[in-house]
Amino acid sequence: MRLLVVDAGNTQIKFGLFDDETLKYRWKITTAEKRTTDEFGFAILNMLHSETVEVGSIDRVAVCSVVPGIMHSLLEAIRRYLKKEPLLIGPGTKSGVKIRTANPREVGADLICDVAAAVEYYHAPCIIVDFGTVTKYEIVDTDGALMAAVFSPGIGISAEAMSSKAAQLPQIEIKKPKSIITSVTTECMQAGLVFGYIGQIKYIIEQIKQEMNLPDMCVIATGGFGKVFANEIDCLDYYDNALTLKGIRCIALKNKAPKKTDVQNE
């Protein structure tokens, strides 16, 4: 089965095309709430054509989103240009993920997809560290249930705040400098930002393991900024930047494809 999965995040929209279990192609575009149905449609067609993928070869489409403002145009683009009714992951979707938080209906679809993939491809108990616009530490217990999460400003937000709120500080590339001791302004900023963030990651993971009384919890990093830290922190056991896309696939397979009669051909 050929399945197109879509992960609509606050900064980027990621697309992945699975041939059965294999994630064969990946694309991404920036998230822009003012895109029209046609603009989304043309973007999707261009991505598929770049890899000579025929629209008619796609069997199903599944979507996970945390950006309500784009959903009308995005879903209509899928219906109009791919001729498929997409599965939208949300409340009521069969996910196989147990949620033991105080308000289960408030849990974002991206967290549910992360947990579904972590349990399927790795093991529980685990901590998922999703380095996106917001860094999310997702805590999965021994039964594979999402029981809690810790949110902190993403490193990109932190870098932007420094340059935008301090008139004499420039925009910087997010990378680890050779040393924490430096007199070059950009490296001073990078040192505080990256080394400080490394300290945060280590401390939060340590505290979670301590309070869970599970010192051997598996830690899976994902998200675009995760590559900055994947080889820098020993307590990050795995880096899987396709985790959410894999989770969307796992959930899609647990649900029937929406009926073709639901497709709108406006």
Same topology, domains 2-88 and 98-248? Answer is yes
Q: Note the pLDDT tens digit of each residue in 87-123.
A: 999 877 999 999 999 998 899 999 999 999 999 999 9
Q: Note the pLDDT tens digit of each residue in 142-168.
A: 999 999 999 999 999 999 999 999 989
| d(C-alpha 229, C-alpha 233), whole Å | 6
- 110 flagged as catalytic: yes
Please say if the pLDDT value at position 243 is more than 60.
yes
Task: Assign domain 98-248 to its CATH architecture.
Answer: 2-Layer Sandwich (3.30)
CB 140 within 8 A of CB 233: no
**Nearest Cα residue to 142 out of 85, 175, 100, 178:** 100
What DSSP designation does 187 have? H
Q: Note the pLDDT tens digit of each residue in 79-94.
A: 999 999 999 998 779 9
Per-domain residue ranges for the chain? 2-88, 98-248
Class of domain 2-88: alpha beta
Q: Note the pLDDT tens digit of each residue in 29-86.
A: 999 888 999 999 999 999 999 999 999 999 999 999 999 999 999 999 999 999 999 9
- The percentage of the chain sitting over the pLDDT mark of 90, rounded to a whole number, equals 91
Q: Note the pLDDT tens digit of each residue in 163-215.
A: 999 989 999 999 999 999 999 999 999 999 999 999 999 999 999 999 999 99
Pairing of strands 238-239, 22-30: unpaired
pTM recorded for the entire structure: 0.93
Give the number of other CB atoms < 10 A from CB of residue 144. Answer: 18
19, 20, 38, 110: the catalytic one is: 110
